[in-house]
Amino acid sequence: MDVNTLFWVNAIVMLVMAFGFLAAWARRRGEACWPAWIAANLVLASALVLYIFVPRIAPDWAVLPNALLVLGFGLRWRAARLFSASPTTWIAVWAPACFAALLFAPPLSLGAGTVFAAINLILATQAGVIAGQFWRAREPGSLSSYGLAAAYAIMAASFVSRVIEGLAFLDSFTTYLPLDGTLPSHLVVAVIHTSASGVFALSIAYERTTVQMRDERDSAQKRAQNYSRLAQRDDLTGLMNRRAIESRFSELVADGFCAMAVLDLDHFKRVNDRHGHALGDAALCATARALAPDDDCLAVRMGGEEFVLLLRGAHARERAESRRQAIPRRIAADVPGLHGIVTASMGLMELPRGLTGIAFSDLYSATDRLLYEAKNGGRNRLVSEKLSLFHEPPRRAGTVAA
């Protein structure tokens, strides 16, 4: 393959990769590396095309493709820094290109071989720095990260070989770009470098997108779980709310929770009216602590000063009563300054084992009736029943045997 064809191939590959970077930028608008990479490839493609025509049409304009080549690698350095979220500066982009242009200035009167070696030394340094940047920023477990560093290291080595060639044959150079036997090999390496570095960069971008999507999904699931947990918890006391217990009620009954207690703090309005809602809220929190939920006793705040207990296992009545009696002591200990003792009334209904099909609202209504019996009986007491038989379907339960 002749040299001009290789220049065209390199330019075309640069443009194709530029479109690939443009597609990546369309998906990830917040990443500034993609515009820099696109600009770098467009500048490099322009330099490669000029290398084809300048020697024939205007040899004195050789400064243009060489300066553009150095500028393109400067933009690639900027893209590499941005790709790894590292700080960057425009001085490092433009200074090498300006220095490369000065090498062609007539006052210096540098020979073609010297300029050739100097330009390739600049390019070798740029490619090596970019390789080092990608190596330092490599991502564990990502072969593309290592491949990207290797692609620039190989390109740097190819430029170094051109530097050696320029120094070895310094006096025999008649043009700034000798069309010798090593140029095709250098251009083949450039094609491989351009293709590999572009593919590896896009591969890393795809991996990052995949990881970001997975993280966003996991974060969304975690937020949903947190929202679900918060939606099922009472903000003040941290106990479950009615929604949480009602949605799981059938499952809980099947799991042995066969006793429901509904309790209400006695004359609680007086506490709020006399001491304010802050102390009232403190009393509610103390009540929640007194209810001491555990694996066999679930506590629910229904709203206001009303709570529900679901219990399983033996001696449900005694355990519920123990918690009811603990409420005044806990409030007195945790909320000093209250006038009088805050007591609680409770209604408790025990279901026979193996009973299924009863709705939460039905059992709650029956138990709430017992609570009001306790209230009407003088408060600060427990009234309980054991449900043994429904004469009608559970949703219209009303006749129970004590």
- Separation between Cα atoms, residue 201 and residue 204, nearest integer Å: 5
The reported pLDDT for the residue numbered 165 is 87
- Separation between Cα atoms, residue 344 and residue 160, nearest integer Å: 88
The reported pLDDT for the residue numbered 101 is 93
To the question of pTM greater than 0.95 for the whole model, the response is no
| Interior/surface letters 356-389, b for 16+ CB within 10 angstroms, e for the rest | eebebebbbebbbbbbeebbeeeebbbbbbbbee
Total residues found in the chain within this entry: 402
The alpha-carbon radius of gyration of the chain (Å, integer) is 40
pLDDT along the chain (402 residues), means of 10: 89 94 87 93 95 81 93 95 92 95 81 89 96 89 86 94 86 68 86 90 80 74 59 86 88 91 95 92 96 93 95 94 96 90 96 82 94 95 81 42 31
Strands 382-386, 306-312: parallel, antiparallel or unpaired by DSSP?
unpaired
The reported pLDDT for the residue numbered 378 is 94
Distances, alpha carbon 223 to alpha carbons 161, 200, 216, 219, 227, in Å: 56, 34, 10, 6, 6
